[in-house]
Structures are given as structure tokens and as C-alpha cells.
Amino acid sequence: MESPNPSPSSASADQRLWRPAAQRNMRNQWSRLASCKQRWASASSDGRAHATSLINTHLSKKYMPSMGFGVLKEMPDIQKKSLKKLSLRQELYGERFLSSYKNLVNIVSDMVNVSRSMRCYLKGSAASPILQFGNHSENKNDSGVGGGVPVFSFYPISYFENLGQELVEMFVLELSLKRLLVVELLSVCCEEPCGGEADMLTWSDEIYLGEFDDLCSTGLLSKESSQPLPPKIKHWESDAFTVRQTNRLLNRETLQNYLTTWLAEGNIDMIRIDEIFHIVEGEMQVRLS
């Protein structure tokens, strides 16, 4: 026997309970997105600084053997000692650069989770309902969107979800592009334990322990191959694109272009992001960033 439909008075009571909770949750989630955006800017800036130091150290090591030492050449083992110190610095900058990338992965993972946590569900009995936030409910009859009514003044939850997904997609794409730069720079600039080409990083390698698990939560790991999806630029599609391993003999100009690409963040449209937050802040009547 089917359960009777809820009475209008019961539905109205649920609505009165749902709306304030949905508003509170929406403010919290968008506040977290604003915080993630600021964390990204900081981690990305740190990453570029460490990459710059890594490249400068690499170039110093590369050109030192062909450079004159002037009066210093009379000092015993001056070149050998200098190269050893540069190697230690190179290792340090490489570790810091990798740490910055790991921070970016964690930030994007947080963004994805936030964008999927904007719905508000009612569970439990009608007499004592319990609020639940997330992207799924134990109650198949509750979609978590309050019947499509506006959360604040004009827009339903689905509208906020679409804005959040649009914003997060930019950072997901940019993370994938930055991963390509990390693989290249660590392979070019950092010495490998065995010193051979076969030991260098490739796109399909896990850069740090647990990276693929982290990438899985961002949607950047292929379910078929269990390998990272190839990077791309927003609005540019190419099925023929593959990540090719370079010969690792890159000149100064190419390395500078890598730094410029890291800084430019071509997948992130800051004008559109500002528009999104302006819309959300106007609807919520709060300042998020």
C-alpha cells in the first residue's frame, strides 16, 4: 500500500525548516569556495617562485663547467664544491615545488567536494526531521533542492550548483596543465637516482605517493586506464593530443615559457570568476571575498 502524499500543511512546515538551513549551507559552501580561491592563488604563487629557483639553479649547474672562474680557479676543487652545493639547492627547490603542486591538488579536491555539497535534505520522521547536506540523500523522494524554490530571492539551488561547477572546472583544467609543467620541470631540472633517461618522470607516473587517489577525486584520472587524463586548454579540443616526453635538453627560453605558462593560468578566467562571486554575493547579501 502506497504511503499518502504529504499534506499541504506538512509540506509547508518542511519548507519553513528547509529554507533557512539551505541558506546557511549555501553561504558556508560559497565561503569555502572563496577561501579555496585564495588558497589557490597563494599556492600557485609559491609554486612559481620555487620553479623559478629550481630553473635558475639548473641553469647555473648546466653552464658552470664552461664558465671561467677568474682568480677563483686557483682554489682547490672550487668547481666541484660549487656544483655540489647547487645540487643540494636544486633538490631542495624541487621538493618545495612538488609540495606546492600537492597543495594545489588538495585545494582543487576541496573545491570539487564543496561544489557537490550545496543541497539540503530532510531525513527522519515528519515529527522530528533531520537536516543533511551533500549531493545525495537516503530519501529517494527528496532531491535536496526544496522543490526548486529560490533559496534566497531569485535563484534555486541548481543555479548555484551550475555556477559552482563552472568555477571549479576552470581550476580542474588548470591543475592538469600545471601537472604537465611539474612533470617537465622535475624531469629536466632534478637529478635522478640512477641518472638515466629511463628513470625520468613521464606523464603516466605518480609524482608523489597517493597522487592518483587525490586526482581521482578531482575527475582527472581516467577510469579506463587509471592514468591522468591529458591536459588541455579551455575551449580547445583535440582528440589527437598526447603527452610526449621531451628529450629534456631544453634551452633557457623554453624554461622561461614554462614559467610564463604557470603564471598566466590560461584556463582560469578571473573576470568570469569575479562575475560569479558578484552574482552570488548579491543574491546572498553577504561579502565572500
The confidence score (pLDDT) of residue 191 equals 57
The confidence score (pLDDT) of residue 195 equals 39
Higher pLDDT, 239 or 61: 61
Give yes or no for residue 173 having a pLDDT over 90: yes
What Rg, from alpha-carbon coordinates, does the chain have? 25
Query: What is d(CA 174, CA 232) in angstroms, rounded to the nearest whole number?
Result: 8
Give yes or no for residue 198 having a pLDDT over 60: no
Distances (CA, A) of 122 to 87, 119, 145: 59, 10, 10
pLDDT tens digits for 32-66?
Answer: 999 999 999 999 999 999 999 999 988 888 766 65
Give yes or no for residue 6 having a pLDDT over 60: no
pLDDT tens digits for 278-287?
Answer: 999 999 888 8
Most confident listed range (100-104, 192-196, 277-281): 100-104
Query: What is d(CA 215, CA 83) in angstroms, rounded to the nearest whole number?
Result: 36
Bridge-based pairing of strands 119-123 and 130-134 is: antiparallel
Higher pLDDT, 171 or 20: 171
pTM of the entire structure? Answer: 0.85
What band does 224 get if pLDDT is binned at 50, 70 and 90? Answer: confident
Partners of 132 in the beta sheet? 121
pLDDT tens digits for 124-154?
Answer: 555 545 556 555 555 566 666 777 788 888 9
Domain boundaries of the chain, sorted by first residue: 13-66+73-284
Cα 260–213–51 angle (5° rounding)?
A: 20
Query: What is d(CA 140, CA 122) in angstroms, rounded to the nearest whole number?
Result: 11
